[in-house]
Amino acid sequence: MEESTYIKALHKLLLLTLKVIPMLLALVCLLNTTLSYFEIDLVILSYIGGVSILPLIFLYLSSYAFRFCEYHRMFLHYVTLNWVINIYDYYIGIPLSDRNMLALYLIITCIFLFVILYLYLKSRKKK
């Protein structure tokens, strides 16, 4: 009986972790972008929140496998869009000044925050 309780607790911990990680990644992504504008390079943020393609695929697949609502996936969409813009800017270049680039990121953040808030309220209304 103890083993099944242990497994259930691990399952709950996994679900909680999978729900929280995209939010933490989005927060670290926003912090890293904002601080880099002010030329503050915290390498620890890259270690904590740096995402490659494979973990991002795992998080997306997990969100569908465990039937998370779109509200939780919006954080993954936000992180993915930020990384796509970063990669595009790094390899090809976006002809914007640093200030305008920060404004672009903040506009994207605001749009995602409004959509996340809308989806969160919509999911709470159904319950």
For residue 108, what pLDDT band results from cuts at 50, 70 and 90? very high
Q: Of the ranges 48-52, 63-67, 116-120, 123-127, which one carries the lowest mean pLDDT score?
A: 123-127
Q: Global pTM?
A: 0.89
Asked whether the predicted pLDDT for residue 104 surpasses 60, the reply is yes
pLDDT in tens, 46-98: 888 888 899 999 999 999 999 998 988 999 999 999 999 999 999 999 999 99
For residue 127, what pLDDT band results from cuts at 50, 70 and 90? low
CB 33 within 8 A of CB 82: yes
pLDDT in tens, 14-58: 999 999 999 999 999 999 999 989 999 888 888 888 888 999 999
Distance CA 119, CA 127 (A): 13
CB proximity list for 32: less than 8 A, separation 6 or greater = 42, 45, 46, 49
